[in-house]
Structure formats: C-alpha cells, structure tokens
Structure 1
C-alpha cells in the first residue's frame, strides 16, 4: 500500500488510537508498524486472531499482560558476555513471570472454550522457572541485591552493619560530650566520601585530629573524620569493596544464566509481543463497536451500517455500502457538505483496517474484499512548491493511479474532474471512469457534474448514488442513497430561505426540459426508495413476529412431548405395579391350590376350582378397549367434519376440521392443526350440533397463548388481573408449565403473584427460575 494513501485515508490515526490499548513497549512497536496485508490467507488468519482475542475478552474481561518488558537488548548483551544491571535482570525475571502467567491463563481458558490460535502461542512459551527463581532470589523488584543472593554477601553485610554500629557509637559519644556543643556546628553524624564524619567549627579543627573531608560553603564548618574512627572507617571501606566484588560476581553469574537461555527468552519476547498486539486489536475493536468481517478475494464489499471510526459514535451517521456484486462502480453526486467524502474514506479505511486484521465499525455479517492495492485521490493536494494548481495536482495523482490500477484494486475518486471547465471536466471524469471500469477495478467516485447523473443508467455495472438532504431543515442527513442520483435542491432551499416565488419561477425557465425531467425523476426515485425502506422495515417486523410465534410453537411442542413422555413413564410404572400385584395374587391362588391338594389328597371339589379360577381372573389387570370396531369389522368409517377422533400416531385426541384429499383430513389437536391420513385415525364419536359449531370456530392470531407472561412495567392491580386471565388460558391450552416474568425490583409484584398462585386450586407447585431461566425475576408454575 502507498504511504500517501494510508495518510490520506487516515490509517495512521487508527494506529495512534491503538496505542491506548497496548500493555507494553512490545505491543506499542507492533502497533506503530501495523500495515495492511495483501495476502488473502494472511488476512483471514489475522482476522481469526483478533476474533479469538475478542472472544477471550468477552468471557474473561481482561488478560494478564502486566510486567512485560522489551528485554531483547539485555539478552543480546548477555550473549556476548556483558554484565546486566540489577534492574535489567529484574525486567528479565518479570517478563519470564508474565509469560508463565499468560501460558497458565490460556491453558485454563482452553478447558472452557475453543481457542486454537492462543493455544498454539501458549505451546510455544517455554517455562523458564529456574531463571525467574534465581533472579528473584537474588534481586528485589526495586533492583537491590538481597543478602540471600549468597552466603558470602550475607556475611559481608553483617560485618558492615557491625562496623557501622561501632563507628556510630564512637562518634555519638563525641557529639554527646560536654564540649561538643561549643566545638560542633551541629550535633549530628553525617557521611562524606563514604566515610562517617562530624561537623566541626573552623577554630576547633585541631581538637579532634583526623582527616578533613569537606567544608561548608562559608568555610566556617569542616567535616572531619576524627583520628579515633579512621581505622574503623578503613575497615568499613574494605568490607564495602569486597561487598561490591561479590555483587558483581552474582550479577555476572545471573547474566551468564540469561545468555544460556537466550533462544527461549527471545522466543518468549516475540510471542508476548504478538499476544499483546492481538489483545490491543481486540480492545480497539470493542472501543469502536467493531465486528469481524467475512473476507473474500472476489472484490465483493458489503458493509452494513458502516461508521467512520474516527468520528464519535454518537455523532457519526452509519451507512450501508455494497460494491462488487451487481455493480463495480458507484458514482455519488450531489452538493458539498453532504458527506460524500466521508463515505469514500469510510469504505477505504474499513478496507485497510480489515486487511490489517482489525475489526471494522459495521454490523455483523459485513464482508470485505482483499485488494492488492487501494488508490485514493481525495482532498485539495495543491502543491505550491511544484507550482501546480488544484486540477493539476489531482491529475498527477490520477495519472499515477491509471498506470498502476488493475482488476484487484479499489479506487476512490473525490470530486473527479473538478477544478477546470465544467464541460471538459465532466467529459474527463466519464473517460477516466470508463478506463478504470475497463481494467476491472472497484471504484467509488464523487462529483458535482450533472452529466454524470445519467452515467449510471448508460453503463452496465455502474450505479448512481447520493447523500440525502433534508429540505425542511436545510441540512444534510449524511445518509447514503444507493440507486438515486443527487439533485441540487437549489430552488427548494432558496424558497425556504425566503426568495420570492417569481424569481424562482423565472430561474426555472432557464433550466432545460431535460434537466427538469432528470430532477423530477430523481425526486420520484427518492420517494420510491423511502417507501421501499419503510415497507422493508414493516416486513422485517412481521418476520420477527413470525419467528417469535414459531419459537413459541416450538416451546409448546417441546413441552407437549415432555409431558407426554412423563405421562407414558407414569403409565408404565402403574402398569408394572398392576402386573406385579396380579402376579402375586396368582401365586397366592396357586399356593392355595397346592395346599388344598395336599390337605385333601388331590380331591378338590368343583366349586373350589371355580372359586380359584375366579380369583385368578380377578388378579388379571383390566384393559380398556379402544373403539376399534371399524378395524375389527374391516369396515371403513365415513368421517365428517367435527368428528372426534384418536390420532394413533400421536396417541392424542382431536377433531376433524376439513377434508384435504380423499384419504387425508386436517385435524385440530389442542392448539395445533396438522394433516393426518384416515388410516392413522380412529373414530370416537360425532359431537352434538352445538359442539360442531364450537369446533368450527377458528381462533385468531390474538388468541395464541405463549409459554411466558411478561409483567415488567405493569401496575400491581393490572398485573394480578393479567395473571388470573393468563392462568385460565394456559389451563385451557393444557400447558404443563408456564413462566411468569415479574422482574426483581422491590419484590412487591413477585410476592403478590406468588401469593395468588399458592392459593390457586390448579397450581401444583411454583419455583423461581434457574440461572438460565431468569433467576428470581421469573416464577415457574407447574399445573396439576
């Protein structure tokens, strides 16, 4: 991509905004070097990386990326044998710790959800626990080498503390003496040149002897190391030298350890840089309310409700931009300040962002093409140094574009052909558009020229567009109208501003008939488009209602089958109990017969056998015979509308509504209507005439009873009345259970609803909803 195009489309500002979302200098470096990719496979991978990071942020809120430093320079110096400072070693340990924490975070996260890309990064992180532990054991976070770094260092520091205590004790005895107040400027012990001294007045310098290390600016005070502590200070100095040598030995040892693990450390740094940058892209995507676009290499762009990412969300007007399917060129006409240039930049910037792996500020389902190049000629780029006019500078850019453009290019022209004679400029604009179109590129161009309004109607693959203008408010709405060319609105605006009607009418006489026809056509197109959008919105609402109804029906069917399975299971348990009791009774009869045979030597009276047979018959479970006379006799029942039947395939009763074909009927089962063949039905009875009339009533859409009743926002008394009616309707619909949404609030509505339900004779039990059902904001009712 050309650097000039990136600057023109303000891609550099996107990179600057991303700097607010990085966690380390590594991520910052990646953000500053961000460039759009022209490789289709790479763009797909980059988008998947960002989407996976967004998924993690959505589930976890944050990731442990703190404590990361750019330690590459430290590692390289350690490789060649250099000694790292304590703070540099602390940065190495902190970065290793951050990598270990990140690896654990990703591994734990992978057990909850699929994150294959992050898992791949985690596998590449080598856990250098030994490096981290040794550095932290030897150096504090503030860079101080600890006593625990080595036994020698601990011993030396104990000696230092002991000697310092002796020196201070000796000097304190001096400053507390009776003469001290007279001879000392101040009764304190201080340090000069790493040696303990006391402030002595100039005239008493010979009293203490020793060494003068410093004097005050006035020369009245000398900082003297008394002769009596010179030897102790010398010992202290010697211990300090040995301490420094031991510290250097420890630092060299740790630096060698870093150098030995340089490959793993550099790999960790690279992975952490990638992870930091991934989550910076994700956080930026959340900030602009972006979404992952589908990516193609066919030159198709579909941006739904796209917004310019550099304009505040509460100010920007979203627009839908579609290009590359039915047409490859869009010509936007209309007056200035209408938002044409913003539309160009929105499309160009979204394309660059998508190819850089960033999410785009548009609705889900948007699609972006991967282009080899994006070209833009936008704004006034007049060059004083080159002595070029506005038109000339634009033509320099356009010439350069025409030399490079091909079928896999996106071209953005702003005010094409402007800055010269209108007739010649319009002719040039048409010719340039024809040339770019012939090359197969995707093009959006803006222009003032009325000649280009007819361009979209005369060229296949080209469509007109405009930015809507509200004549009532005399201001643009910034809404893009694809398929409708722009019109000047000069007469309407002048009229609204108070220009006399006679002047306007006279002006209209100077406009050609063709121009008037075009303006009238544009006005008609705008009205038609608004009507179509309104109808599309209404259709969308109807579709949503239908989908809602469909979901309710699905819930009802699921509840029906759950209830059916429950009843079948209970029936099986009951039947098993009856059979078991019959078996026990039969066993008892057989035992009695055997006992009778033994007691009476096999002489069993006839009446005793009859009695035993009766008892056996009574032990057998009773079975209700279905009304299958028509099947037993082999005769075919002559069904008629209103007949009550048993649908054998569902095991449910219903009634016939209407004949569909010779052997098929429409059957009403509860609230559902379905087609059933006659062979799958058993006749039960023909209801009385009044029942037939009742069966023939078809319920309207408003009579549908949902599985949920939403009371939120209702007044207490109105809510209880709705609950009473809803429970009656649900019982009539034979629902096994329903949900009443009352919300949490103060709890008054919840208590009132539950008190009513507890006293209802048909309610079996009530409970609060589960976590996935709405919790304490929902009461689930089960009927008897």
Structure 2
C-alpha cells in the first residue's frame, strides 16, 4: 500500500490509538506493524477475530496480557543448558500465570455458548501450573528465596540464625559492659559482612580485635572484637554455602523449565497475538464501530460513517455509496463544508477495513478490496496558491496515473486547482474521464462548475454536495448524494457585509446560462432536502406501524390463550359440579328406596330433606358469580410490591407488581396475565401460615409432614435484594417448588442495572432440575421477570 497515502489519510494516527489498547510489548509492536491486506480470506479472518474479541470484551471485560513479557533470551539459554537467574524465572512464572488467567477468561460458562474463532488461541495456552507452583515455592521475591526451597538451605539458614543470635548476644554484653566507656556510640554495626563496634580512636589499644574501617575524621574505628571473630568467620562460611545452595536451587528450577521451552514460547506467542486481537476489539468498542461487509464487486456503501479522529460528540455522520450505479463521485460545496473530511473518511475506512479493524459506521456498511489507494489531498485552502503548489499536485497525479488499475481507489481534493480556472477545469475533466473510462473507483472534490455539469451529463458519474445553511452561514456537514453543491458566494458575501450594489454588479456579470445553472442547483438541493425529510418521516411511520402491529398480535395471542384457559377451567368446574350433582341424585334415590322399605320416622326424613336442600344451595352458589365488595376499604399505602391480592371483578388472585398512581390504579400480575386494576376492585389476601393443620398429612412412619404443594407460591419476589441474598432465597424456593411438582414458577427481579437478573440467570444455568428459563414476554413482566420451567 502506498506509504504516502497512509500518511495523507492519517492511518498512522489510527495505529497510535490501537497501540494504546495493547498491554504487552510484542502486542504493541504487532499493532504498530499492522498494514492493510489485499487477500479477502486474510481480511475476513482478521475481521472475525476483531468481532469475537469485541463480543467477549462486552460480556467479560478486557483481557490483560501485561505480564506477557519477552522470554526469548531465557529460552535460548535453557536450550543450551544454562542456569536462569531469579528474575528470569519469576518472569516465566508471571507469563505462565497470565496464560492461566487468559485460559480461564476464554473458557465458556455453559455448553450453550457458541464457539468462536478465538477458541483455538485459548486452547493452545498451557499454564504449566506445577512449574509455576514450584517456582513460587522456591522464590518469593526478587533475589529472595524461601527457607523451604530445600532442606539444605533451611538447615544453613537455621545455623546462620543461631550464630547471628550468639554474635548479637556477645556484642550486646560487650557494648553494655566492659567496652562501654571506649565506644563512640553503644551500637552494633556492620562493615564488610562483619559485625563491629565503633571505638574511639584513643582507646584502640584497650579493645582487642580487628580494625575493618574508620570514620572520615579518623576519630572512630570500627573494630571486630576477638570474642566474635570466629563466630563471624563461621557466619561468612555459611553465607558462602547459602549462595552455593541457591545456585543448586536455580539449576533445578532451570532444568524443570527446560522441559517446557516450546510450550513457554507458544504461550508467549499466543498471549501477545491475543493481546493484538483484543486491542483491535477494544478500539472498536471505544469507537462504537461495527464489522464491515466485504465484497469483490468494487462496491462501497457507508451508512452513518463518522471520521474516527473527530470528536464523536460533534462529528456529523455521512452516508455514501460508490461503485454500484456509478464509479465516479464529484463532491462540491463551500469551503469548510466537510468535503475533505468526507474524502478522508472513505479512504481511511477502506484502509481500516482491510487491516482487520472495525469502522465507526452503521451495521451492514460495505467495503471492497483495493490493492492500492492513491490520495492527492493538499493542506492549502487559499485562493493564492502558487504555481509550485499546482506543480506539486500534478506531480502526484502523474505518478498515480502510471500505477493505477481497476483494483485502485483514487481520491482527489480540489483537483487541478491553483491554476487558470478554465484550463484547470478542462484538465480535471480530462483526468476524471480517463479514470472513468477504465472503471476505476474515484472520488474528487472541486469548486469548478464545469465538473458539476460533467457529472450531470455523464453516465456512471454522480454529483454530491456538502449541505450549507445560508441563514446561519455555517455548514451542516451532511453529504447529499445526487445533486451538485452551490458555492453560495453571493449569499455569504451579503451576510458578511459586502455592499448590495457590488453583489448586484457581480450577478449581472454572470451569463444567463451560469445563472440558470446555479438556480437549478438551488432547486435540486431544496427538493433533495424535502424528499429526504419526507423519506425519514415515512420510515418513522412505518416503524411505528410495525411496532403497533406486533404489539396487537401479541395482545391477541395472549387474549386467545386467556380465553382458552378460562373456558378450560370453566369446563372443569362444570364437570365437577355435574359429578357432584349426579352423586347427590344417586344418594337421594337410594334414600327414597330405603325409606320405602323401612319404617323411617317423619322427623328423620325431614332432616334428610333439609340436608339435601343445603347441599343443592351450596352447589348453586359455585356457578353464580355475584358482584363482590371488598371486606374493607383499603388505602393506596396498603398495597406493597409483591402483596397478594384478589381481583373481585375477575375472581382471580395475583400479586401487586407496581405502586398505585394518583388515581389509585396499579398493575396486578395474575399468572401470565398482567392487568391494570383500581384499588377499589382489590382485596388484600391475609396469607395463612405456610404450614397449618389442614396442610399436614401423615406419612407411612406415622410422622406429620407438611404438604408444600398446598402452600408454595408460583412466584418469588427478589426486588431490592443483593445478588447473594437473592440467590440464597431463590435456592430454597426452587427446591420447595420442585418438590411440590410445580411445572413452572415466576421469578421477579426487576430491570434496574441488570446485575440481579444476570446473577439469577447464572445461578439457573447450574441447576440440574431446571429444564429451561426465559425472560417474561409482553404481559408477563417483560425483562423484569424470568419464567423457570422444571424438568
């Protein structure tokens, strides 16, 4: 790819942003070396990797590979039998621990999670936990070894501690005893790994020992008393033995690490490549970018594209196409209107996409593969451009034309400006005609009216303009495809205060053809804006209609389900009443036959008749739904979330799922039905104790056992609880519900931040007796409720 083009389109600045996303040195190096590719398979592989990293970052957070430090030199020394130092072994340990964390990060939580292209990377990691444990057992810090690294080291250090104790005890006695008057200070100090005491120089002959040092003034001598010379010698010998044993330990650890040289190298390579891939995913997340769709037909279609180096809060998205019905796009409009930004956005998106990076544009944006991108973009925007500037631009154009082919993208900013307008326009049309004849994808910005006419009259060439608001004298930065842009020179000059007579004189100097052309441009721009506005309104109405249609269908389905359920329950109740009536009739006939055969008193017959009358009355009351009134009037504050209530008009029970509003209306969840009810139609159900005498049954062992199926609620309310509290309560509730043979239950967790919902779902994934679970649908509580079905 043309290096000059990479600089012109500021591709290097994107790489600078990418480098900041990597955490390892090699990962940063791979980011710095990233260049656009030209093979479709390579590009799509890189895009899939970026998309997989993006998805994992959103779900699990960013992958940290900062401990993946280079171990190449250490591996070479191990291969030739060398002994690694303490810091080198610690670096290997940190690398392997990083591999372990990455492998855990890459592991899927459930078997239902779909595999992605990064699984092969995570599977290739080998944490080598036994080697890590052995290194950490022996080495506890930089140049610091554990006493338990070996039994020999432990014995040596035990002896050293014992001798140190003797030396300190002996010197303490001397300092506080016979030598006290000869000392500069009553302290014990070290000189050259030997314990000494500071003696005044005039008392040198009074202290028997070896002089190791003196102060800068010569007034103090540091003398090792003879009483501790042998102990110090023994201590020095132990120091030497300790260092020898440490070398033995390092040799053992190096030998253990040498067995895994290739695996350690693989871990380092895989971790740094993952760091590189996740840097691309992190950049996509920061840019709010999406994966482009690549084609081989030379077609570009950018939807709501935003230049990645501009402030995302201020940048105006552009929608642009090229290579479908036209291969050449001429962009016109006033200065500072966004023409150059549009040009750079197209070129930079092509480079980023071919480098495996996502682009900050809408979903389903399309890119094609270019083998070369040529950009002639100058920074000069002054009308006083010199001949040398024109020559410089023309030199670039000449070099482009020598190398350009059908697999190239050519970008011109102010093509052939800086020279005579008539000659410049003619030259620009000739260059564009040549490129268009070869079907080369080209985009050019210009102020020349001749180029606007060329685009209007040439098949396969299209005009575009950057919109400008004449009222505010400011550009809108919106790119409009299909119409040429108007220069607006007269309007801008008038707003800036140029006298009207001068502007009128300038207008009079325009030819009739020029004036008509400018008026045509203005009319086209107005029509385009009107059509665009109407198109957006139609699209909004269409979306609203689709939403209403979907909601209506859902409501209709719920009503059909509710109708079927009510009819089914009514049929079941009717059948039960008929069975009871049949049993009553059979019993009555039996009694009449008995009364005919036996001598039964009139009083007893009357009692039987009264008993039958009561039974018929009770049966009749079951099929009569009378309007009920609440036992007592309730206040709005009496209704709390999760409160069990009875809807009198529907003769159904449910739970309160919202607080009463100013009119006393609230939502009640009745199974899968969620309805708005006034508090005047509600009666609070005074819940009985979970286990009462009527809910008890006697087991075969004669013991009383609670019948949970009569007391367990089909719903649990976890609102206001932390994840730990909710999971603990949910665990017990699901056990009770499963034992009670409930087919499904309803878990109310609310929407909020989603943390409680995620915690509940993570817990449900691990339960063997849970067949499935899903979020509630319309009328069931939506995303604030999870429906759990048991096996």
Q: TM-score, normalised by structure 2?
A: 0.74
Conserved 8 A contact 1:739-1:780: no
Distance 1:750 1:277 in 2: 59
Question: Per-residue deviation at 1:225?
Answer: 2.3
* Residues 497-548 of structure 1, C-alpha deviations (whole Å, 9 max, x = no match): 2222221111112112221112111111111111012101211221122012
Question: Per-residue deviation at 1:552?
Answer: 1.4
More displaced stretch, 129-138 vs 362-371: 362-371
Q: 1:760 to 1:62 in 2, by over 3 A?
A: farther
Question: Per-residue deviation at 1:354?
Answer: 1.6
Q: 1:431 to 1:67 in 2, by over 3 A?
A: same
Structure 2 residue matching 1:753: 3-state secondary structure: strand
Q: 1:542 to 1:193 in 2, by over 3 A?
A: same
Question: Per-residue deviation at 1:305?
Answer: 1.5
Conserved 8 A contact 2:447-2:487: no
Question: Per-residue deviation at 1:202?
Answer: 2.7
Distance 1:48 1:54 in 2: 10
Q: 1:134 to 1:159 in 2, by over 3 A?
A: same
Q: Aligned ranges for residues 226-237 of structure 1 at < 5 Å? A: 226-237=225-236
Q: 1:512 to 1:741 in 2, by over 3 A?
A: farther
Aligned pair 1:312/2:311, yes or no? yes
Aligned pair 1:753/2:666, yes or no? yes
Q: Aligned ranges for residues 631-780 of structure 1 at < 5 Å? A: 753=666, 757=677, 759-761=679-681, 774=751
Aligned pair 1:72/2:72, yes or no? yes
Question: Per-residue deviation at 1:570?
Answer: 2.2
* Residues 84-110 of structure 1, C-alpha deviations (whole Å, 9 max, x = no match): 221221121122122122212222346
Corresponding residue for residue 616 of structure 2: none
Question: Per-residue deviation at 1:167?
Answer: 1.7
Conserved 8 A contact 1:52-1:115: no
Distance 1:291 1:363 in 2: 7
Corresponding residue for residue 285 of structure 1: 284
Question: Per-residue deviation at 1:139?
Answer: 1.0
Question: Per-residue deviation at 1:388?
Answer: 9.7
Q: 1:150 to 1:365 in 2, by over 3 A?
A: same
* Residues 569-601 of structure 1, C-alpha deviations (whole Å, 9 max, x = no match): 3255346646866997999899999999xx9xx
Q: Aligned ranges for residues 242-641 of structure 1 at < 5 Å? A: 242-380=241-379, 389-571=388-570, 573-574=572-573, 577=576
Corresponding residue for residue 220 of structure 1: 219
Conserved 8 A contact 1:195-1:233: yes
Structure 2 residue matching 1:454: 3-state secondary structure: helix
Distance 1:208 1:518 in 2: 113
Aligned pair 1:50/2:38, yes or no? no
Structure 2 residue matching 1:117: 3-state secondary structure: coil
* Residues 239-279 of structure 1, C-alpha deviations (whole Å, 9 max, x = no match): 11111111111112212222220111111112111222222
Distance 2:75 2:657 in 1: 62
Conserved 8 A contact 2:121-2:270: yes
Question: Per-residue deviation at 1:452?
Answer: 1.0
Distance 1:431 1:22 in 2: 47
Q: 1:435 to 1:566 in 2, by over 3 A?
A: same
Question: Per-residue deviation at 1:377?
Answer: 1.6
Structure 2 residue matching 1:389: 3-state secondary structure: helix
Q: 1:381 to 1:485 in 2, by over 3 A?
A: closer
* Residues 200-247 of structure 1, C-alpha deviations (whole Å, 9 max, x = no match): 233333333433333333333333322322221111111111111111
Q: 1:589 to 1:401 in 2, by over 3 A?
A: farther
* Residues 700-744 of structure 1, C-alpha deviations (whole Å, 9 max, x = no match): xxxxxxxxxxxxxxxxx9xxxxxxxxxx9xx9xx9x9999997x8
Conserved 8 A contact 2:160-2:238: yes
Q: 1:331 to 1:176 in 2, by over 3 A?
A: same
Distance 2:361 2:748 in 1: 32
Give the number of aligned pairs. Answer: 644
Conserved 8 A contact 2:486-2:518: yes
Conserved 8 A contact 1:391-1:418: yes
Structure 2 residue matching 1:164: 3-state secondary structure: helix
Conserved 8 A contact 1:99-1:268: yes
Q: 1:365 to 1:134 in 2, by over 3 A?
A: same
Distance 1:406 1:737 in 2: 76
Structure 1 residue matching 2:212: 3-state secondary structure: strand
Question: Per-residue deviation at 1:81?
Answer: 2.2
Question: Per-residue deviation at 1:772?
Answer: 7.9
Distance 1:380 1:66 in 2: 40
Distance 2:12 2:780 in 1: 59
Conserved 8 A contact 2:387-2:418: no
Distance 1:186 1:177 in 2: 13
Q: 1:247 to 1:589 in 2, by over 3 A?
A: same
Structure 1 residue matching 2:315: 3-state secondary structure: coil
Question: Per-residue deviation at 1:122?
Answer: 2.0
* Residues 391-427 of structure 1, C-alpha deviations (whole Å, 9 max, x = no match): 2322232222222222222221112112333222222
Conserved 8 A contact 1:738-1:781: no
* Residues 269-315 of structure 1, C-alpha deviations (whole Å, 9 max, x = no match): 12111222222222211211112222222222221121111111122
Structure 1 residue matching 2:445: 3-state secondary structure: strand
Corresponding residue for residue 240 of structure 2: 241
Structure 2 residue matching 1:232: 3-state secondary structure: helix
Corresponding residue for residue 151 of structure 2: 151
Aligned pair 1:196/2:198, yes or no? no
Aligned pair 1:83/2:83, yes or no? yes
Unpaired runs of 5+ in structure 1? 600-716, 718-727
Distance 1:264 1:587 in 2: 87
Distance 1:109 1:375 in 2: 47
Q: 1:398 to 1:764 in 2, by over 3 A?
A: farther
* RMSD across aligned positions (CA): 3.9
Q: 1:591 to 1:43 in 2, by over 3 A?
A: farther
More displaced stretch, 225-234 vs 343-352: 225-234
* Residues 107-153 of structure 1, C-alpha deviations (whole Å, 9 max, x = no match): 23464632422322222122412211111111114452211111111
Q: TM-score, normalised by structure 1?
A: 0.75
Distance 2:479 2:365 in 1: 17
Question: Per-residue deviation at 1:3?
Answer: 2.2
* Residues 610-643 of structure 1, C-alpha deviations (whole Å, 9 max, x = no match): xxxxxxxxxxxxxxxxxxxxxxxxxxxxxxxxxx
